[in-house]
Amino acid sequence: MGVPSTALFTDRYELTMLQAALRAGTADRASVFEVYTRRLPEGRRYGVIAGTGRVLDAVENFRFDRDVLDFLADRHIVDEATLSWLADYRFRGDIWGYPEGEVYFPGSPVLRVEGTFAEAVLLETVVLSILNHDSAVAAAASRMSVAAGDRPLMEMGARRTHELSAVAAARAAYVGGFATTSDLAAGFRYDIPTVGTSAHAFTLLHDNERDAFTAQVESLGSGTTLLVDTYDVAEAVRTAVEVAGPGLGAVRIDSGDLLLLAHRVRQQLDELGARDTKIVVTSDLDEYAIASLAAAPVDAYGVGTQLVTGSGHPTCSMVYKLVARAESDAPGAPLRAVAKKAMGGKTSIGGRKWAARRLDAEGVAEAEVVGSGPVPAELQDRQLLVELVRGGEIVGREPLDAARDRHIAARGRLPLSATQLSRGEPVLPTEYQ
């Protein structure tokens, strides 16, 4: 699927800063920007990096074509000299970052963008837009995956968010542990397995439930999933087995007391000889509701609203800060650490940083170590940042399944308390060197 220019997925002040820097002669100073968050959302014990692949796509497609330049000129957003510079814009710097699916903590330099000030500053908004959204969804998905255990999760949130956000959310949910999506655009673009059978409207369309079930089974086969809570659940389950036979694939419950209904439906299915028929539950689930159903005879969960909105935390509050810049305009000038000083907990730490995760003797993570000097010998093979862009060329693309597998592995190396759903502090401390 073609991707249009991402150049206007930005804030106006990125371009006005560029114009002023070009006029001042400082636009070409070598600069280092880093993405990090000062804190995790309240109560969260770890974060999950998602959207890295989409960031690479956005950087590659950050181009000022004729229509975009005409818009900027017509609105007098920048001057002619800046328009001329933008016409040839290509990001030609380097990007390093935590690989997609990795976990992170406060202060983790999850992305490092190196280049001239001019070329790097323009990427701020689009990078943050992607990482803040996708990482929030992935973190919620991860918590839900922990709560679900071995039971598969289906992403069903397309109708609860913007149509393009829905595709990104499905991708992030897959990284965080979901198995499938109902969104066909996500399936098409990212090759995520898709699922879906019917809604209440299909049952209501027919004169009775038996006719609706018969039509669905004749079209999709007995392995389909029949929705059984339009009218009376017990009667619907009986009719479903009569129509599809004991080989009925699954029944879905979308309302009511899910814990009670799951037990009743399981007993009824077994009594009717449909012992292999699965039970799928939906209905405004979040990680807490999923955890509450752990002892219920449920085989799969469908999650929508709470997933695509980050389960109460729709952003990660990541920021994109200049942490180092050349001491002068001379080519090869050494870098100087720079940082904002402010009240209210918004102070930044300057310097081009590395990050590593220290493990204990049992191979369990015990600290996130961040530094701007030499990397200690004992942490050399535990460094977290990987090369994503070299000299403007994408070098870090990978299959989405690689990110999904990485997250499962990274989460598995955290202390067991990371999987607790109760509120708590980050499971790893961040140590600065």
Condensed to tens digits (0 to 9), the pLDDT of residues 105-149 reads 999 999 999 999 999 999 999 999 999 999 999 999 999 999 999
The answer to whether residues 325 and 177 touch, using CB atoms and an 8 Å cutoff, is: no
Pair 284, 371 in one domain: no
Q: What is the pLDDT, as a whole number, of residue 1? A: 42
> Given this model, what pLDDT does residue 303 score?
98
In order, the DSSP letters of 102-171 are -EE-TT---EEEEEEHHHHHTTHHHHHHHHHHHHHHHHHHHHHHHHHTTS-EEE--GGGS-HHHHHHHHH
Instruction: Tell me, yes or no, whether 41 and 123 share the same domain.
Output: yes
Number of domains the chain contains:
2
pLDDT at 403 over 50: yes
> pLDDT (tens digit, 9 = 90+) per residue, 23-44?
999 999 999 999 999 999 998 9
Is residue 149 situated within a structural domain?
Answer: no
The pLDDT value recorded for residue 348 is 82
- Both tokens of 203, joined, read 């049952």
Six-digit token string for 246: 């004991």
The reply to whether 33 and 114 lie within a common domain is yes
How far apart (Å, rounded) are the C-alpha atoms in residues 202 and 216? 9
Domain co-membership, 362 together with 394:
yes
Question: Rounded to whole angstroms, how far apart are CA atoms 28 and 14?
Answer: 15
Residues 289 and 340 in one domain: no
Domain membership flag for residue 159? no
- 176, part of any domain: no
In a domain, 161, yes or no: no
In whole angstroms, what is the distance from residue 329 CA to residue 253 CA?
Answer: 65
Q: Give me the residue label for tokens 């999933």.
A: 225
- Last-in-domain residue among 298, 322, 343: 298
- Examine the pLDDT at 342 and tell me if it is beyond 90: no
Report the CATH number at residue 334. 3.20.140.10
For residue 308, being part of any structural domain is answered with no
Question: Does residue 264 fall inside a structural domain?
Answer: yes
75 in any annotated domain: yes
Tell me the C-alpha to C-alpha distance, in Å, between residue 48 and each of 99, 348, 359, 407: 10, 22, 19, 8
Regarding whether 281 and 226 lie in a shared domain, the answer is yes
CA distance 246 to 263: 18
Determine the Cα–Cα distance for residues 322 and 339; give it in Å rounded to an integer.
7
Domain of residue 38, residue span? 12-136+313-432
Question: Which backbone phi and psi does 57 adopt, to 5 degrees?
Answer: -60, -40
Name the domain boundary from 231, 265, 298.
Answer: 298
Is residue 153 domain-resident?
Answer: no
Mean per-residue pLDDT over the chain, rounded: 96
Stated as kind and residue range, the H or E segment containing 243 is: helix 233-244
* 331 and 267 inside one domain: no
The average pLDDT across 173-181 equals 98
- pLDDT level of residue 3 (50, 70, 90 thresholds): low
The two three-digit tokens of residue 97, written as one number: 């970052």
- 2 pLDDT more than 70: no
Paired with 180 in beta bridges are 154
Dihedral Cα 410, 415, 416, 421, nearest 10 deg: -80
Of 263, 298, 333, the domain-final residue: 298
Examine the domain organization and report whether 282 and 348 are in the same domain. no
- 339 and 371 together in one domain: yes
- Alpha-helical (H) ranges within 159-208 are 163-176, 184-190, 200-205
Q: What is the CATH number of the domain that holds 208?
A: 3.20.20.70
